Structure 1
Amino acid sequence: MVRLREGFDREFAALMEKLPPWVRKEVEPHGAKLEEIAMDLGAPLAYTVDGAPRFSEREITKEDLSFVLHRVGGFKENNRAGIEGTLHRVSRIQSALGEMTGITIRVGKFVEGVAEPLRPYLLESGGSLLVVGPPRTGKTTLLRDIVRILAERWGPRVVVVDTSNEIGGDGLTAHPGIRPARRMQVPDPPSRNQGRIIYQAIANHSPEVVVVDEIGYNEDVQECLTASRRGVRVVATAHGERLLDALENPALHPVLGEPDLREGRRRTRPSFGMALQVVAKGRYLVYPDLAQALDDLLQGREPEGVELSV
């Protein structure tokens, strides 16, 4: 059964407190169906409800943007901010002169059950898992529920490397939904530090599983390779519409067996035993044998996957 984890109402109320009163009045009635809010200077308020865009007649002003800025307490170097104790993400847009011109708010939700169809693959196969999917298909929501399932078996030996606090939420204490898994936060700028924190997780905390969101930057891919060679399972996400997109991303080649796209072969075994393609929210395509799926793609064949849904 798929359901919102208890506590969403409190977290949603915390988000509403950060919004200008008129914006809050516009979006609050949609509750858990609200997905995203876009506030662009001089443009109508835009927000997404159940995948459908909506617009208000009133336009965003500098005062509206300043209201949110002061309520969230500033932004990090990567132009993101969180709300302590919640999974919400607030991101800003700046002009060439550094002036704030827009804000995007993603409404974070811990949805239990979205990963249940994957339970046999997560607990019985014993292999690392690469999750591929485009934005807005629920990759991070899925990843949180994967952590929940893994933590049922391995508890604190599941370590989450939380790049932007999207998996475990903002603040010093991780969101209760991922406990008893442990969470290691990544300092700014994340792109230069994620690999270092993955290394520390492996070297210092004896994990059974390391969970990472959005690999493909600098040293993080190499550290995922190191983890697999040390017998540590890795669950990681990467951007892409399909598995083929990951194969054609040179940054991911070290963990995909160093494929040679022109010769149609790979030089080594991939670091991940399985792959999961997120087709849409609640719809997945599992490749239980990633090595075979990669070989099929390199030879111009469509790999066979297992379709799952919730």
Structure 2
Amino acid sequence: MVRVREGFEQEFAALMQKLPPWVRQEVEGHGPQLEEIAMDLGARLAYTVDGEARYSEREVSKEDLQFVLHRVGGFKENNRAGIEGTLHRVSRIQSALGEMTGITIRVGKFVEGVAEPLRPYLLDGQGSILLVGPPRTGKTTLLRDVVRILAERWGSRVLVVDTSNEIGGDGLIPHPGIRPARRMQVPDPPAKTQGRIIYQAIANHSPEIVVVDEIGYNEDVYECLTASRRGVRVVATAHGEKLLDVLENPALHPVLGDPDLKARERRSRPSFQMALQVVGKGRFVLYPDLAKALDELLEGNEPEGIRLGNWPPGPASQG
């Protein structure tokens, strides 16, 4: 059963307190269905409810943007801010002169049950898993629930390397939904530090499983490769519409067995034993043997996958 974790009402109320009163009045009735709020200077307030874009009659003013700025207490170097104890994310848009011209608010929810179709594959302990999908398909929401399931069995031996606090939320104490897994935050910019934090996680804290969101920087890819060679399971996400997009991304080649696209062969075994393509919210295609799937792609064929999740009725097919 998929459900928003208990406690969302308090987390949602904390977000509403950061908004100008008229914005709050416009959006607060939508609760868990509210996904995003966009406040752009001189434009009507825009917000998304269950995938549908909606607009207010009133335009956003400079005072409205300043209201949010003061309530969140400022932004970090990456122009993001969080709200302590929640998964909400507030991001700032600036002009060329550094003036704030817009704010995007992602309403964070810990959705329990979305990863349940993966439970047998997560708990069999057979290897690392790469989650692949484009933005806004629920990769991070899925990853949080993956952490919940892994932590049920391996507890504090599951260690989350949390880029931009996407998995465990902002603040010193991670969101209770991922407990008893542990969390290490990644300083900005992640391109220079994420790999170092993965190294520290493995070298200093001896995890059995490391969870990483959005790999693709040279150092973090190398550390994921090292982890797999040392017997540490890795669960990571990467951007891509399909598995083929990952194969065609040179930055990820080290963890895919160093494929040669011209020679159509791999030089070694991939660091991940399985791959999961996130097609949409609650819809996945699992490749239980990533090496075999990569070889199929290198030969110009479409690999066969297993459909998981809430697909509409119809014949099963590949991804």
TM over 0.5: yes
Residue 84 of structure 2 aligns to which amino acid in structure 1?
E
Bigger CA drift: 121-130 or 202-211? 121-130
Structure 2 match to 1:188: 188
Structure 2: gaps (5+ residues): 311-319
Q: Which structure 2 residues correspond to residues 41-190 of structure 1 after superposition, within 5 A?
A: 41-190=41-190
Aligned counterpart, 1:280: 280
Identity %: 84
What's the CA shift for 1:59?
Answer: 1.0
Q: How does 1:193-232 map to 2 (within 5 A)?
A: 193-232=193-232
Q: Deviations over 1:220-278 (max 9, x none)?
A: 11110110010000000011111111111111111011111111111111100000000
Amino acid at match of 1:191: A
Q: Deviations over 1:116-160 (max 9, x none)?
A: 000011011521000001111110000000000000110000000
How far apart, CA to CA, are the structure 2 residues paired with 1:293 and 1:125?
Answer: 20
Is 2:8 the partner of 1:8? yes
CA RMSD of aligned residues (A): 0.8
Match of 1:21 in 2: 21
SS at match of 2:10: helix
What CA distance in whole angstroms lies between the structure 1 residues aligned with 2:264 and 2:72? 50
Segments of 5+ residues of structure 1 without an aligned counterpart are none
2:260 paired with 1:260: yes
Which secondary structure does the structure 1 equivalent of 2:131 belong to? strand
Q: Deviations over 1:25-46 (max 9, x none)?
A: 1010000000001111111111
8 Å contact 1:221–1:254 — kept in the other structure?
yes
Give distance in 1, aligned partners of 2:72 and 2:218.
Answer: 30
* SS of residue paired to 1:219: helix
Q: Would the aligned equivalents of 1:133 and 1:238 in 2 still touch at CA under 8 Å?
A: yes
* CA–CA distance in structure 2, aligned partners of residues 28 and 194 of structure 1: 36
* Contact residue 45 and residue 59 of structure 1 kept, 8 A: yes
Which deviates more, 1-10 or 119-128? 119-128
The amino acid of 1:82's aligned partner reads G
Instruction: Quote how far apart the aligned CAs of 1:217 are.
Output: 1.6
1:71 Cα offset (Å)? 0.6
Corresponding residue for residue 34 of structure 1 = 34
AA matched with 2:69 = L
Normalising by structure 2, what TM-score? 0.96
Secondary structure, in 3 states, of the residue corresponding to 2:218? coil
Secondary structure, counterpart of 1:276 in structure 2: strand
**Which amino acid is 1:107 matched to?**
V
Aligned to 2:315: none
Contact 1:192-1:218 within 8 A present in 2 as well: no
Between the two proteins, the alignment pairs up a number of residues equal to 310
Aligned-partner Cα distance in 1 for 2:241–2:47: 24
- The one-letter code of the counterpart of 2:163 is T
1:292 is matched with which residue? Answer: 292
Mapped partners of 1:247, 1:50: distance in 2 = 32
SS in structure 1 at match of 2:28: helix
Give the corresponding residue for 2:313: none
Measured in 1, the distance between the counterparts of 2:60 and 2:37 equals 12
Superposed counterparts of 1:237-248, under 5 Å: 237-248=237-248
How many Å apart are 1:166 and its aligned residue?
1.1
Q: Which runs of 4+ in 1 moved over 4 A?
A: none
Residue type of the alignment partner of 2:255: V
Deviations 1:47-66 (A, max 9, x none): 10001111111111111111
Q: Distance in 1 between matches of 2:242 and 2:98?
A: 36
In 2, the alpha carbon distance for the partners of 1:271 and 1:35 equals 34
State the Cα deviation string for residues 84-140 of structure 1 (Å, max 9, x = none).
Answer: 000001111111111111111100000100000000110115210000011111100
Write the distance in 1 (CA, Å) between the matches of 2:43 and 2:131.
36
